[in-house]
Copies of this chain bind each other. A is one copy, B any other.
């Protein structure tokens, strides 16, 4: 959540009306009462329902839109945001070429397994010791050039049957799967980057000599309630690719 916190309690922690409306609406989205893609009531209907003015509803809607939980289209209506492969890539994929042009990867998965989380993993995801993780390993390529070797780990309890789904279709974007099959909408990712030397496994998958410097991106992705849902470690060649970040 970028702009608005949630939860209103007693007089000790006053929340403006629009923040309370915001919280009520995120709850409906998070609970599935409003499904991704659904059309919301218009501003006046919402205002009547929440017993506030249309301007107050508008302020909550603007915040929801800023946090990408809804999409507003003039003359059309307000919709719950839905992850599509393009949208998720545009929002979360930060690898560009040397000119800064956005790239679109092709993914090839080749391993899935379940295992107990290590201490570091439980800590990163805020899980209980010994929780089960499901992990997917894959290689992402740009025009046949294997560029990224990555492992994606999710708490098994959050996504029962994930392996069955992935055996049927291996998607370009995991976040579409999370949302469509498990009602989990990723809204935030925190990444830390380091430079590492390619080990034997990296070298084999990315076709570089062992010891080649690689960009290691560690991501923790969270849903709209701030719950940590996914741990992902990506190792990326930077011979012709870059990680792009903007600070504003």
* Interface positions of A (Cβ within 8 A of B): 2, 67-68, 91-92, 94, 96, 100, 187-197, 211, 213-216, 236, 238, 242-248
Contact = CB atoms under 8 A, between A and B. Distances in A.
Contact of A248 (B96, B187, B194): B187
A191 B244 contact: yes
By secondary structure, the A interface counts as: strand
Copies in the complex: 2
Interface centre among A2, A92, A215, A245 (most CB of B within 10 A): A245
A175 to B, nearest CB: 11
Contacts of A211: 211
B248 A2 contact: yes
Contact of A238 (B2, B94, B195, B243): B195
Contact of A215 (B189, B193, B197): B193
A59 to B, nearest CB: 11
Given A213-B213, A213-B214, A248-B2, A96 B192 contact: yes
Contacts of A238: 193-196
A187 B194 CA distance: 26
Given A211-B211, A213-B213, A214-B213, A244 B192 contact: yes
Given A2-B248, A248-B2, A213 B195 contact: yes
Contact of A190 (B192, B197, B213, B244): B244
A113 to B, nearest CB: 27
22 contacts: A68-B248, A91-B247, A94-B245, A94-B247, A188-B246, A188-B247, A191-B244, A191-B245, A192-B243, A192-B245, A193-B215, A193-B242, A193-B243, A193-B245, A194-B243, A195-B214, A195-B215, A195-B216, A195-B238, A213-B214, A215-B215, A245-B245
Nearest to A100: B192
Contacts of A247: 91-92, 94, 188-191
Interface centre among A187, A238, A242, A247 (most CB of B within 10 A): A247
Interface centre among A242, A243, A244 (most CB of B within 10 A): A243
A153 B61 CA distance: 43
Nearest to A98: B192
A247 B248 CA distance: 13
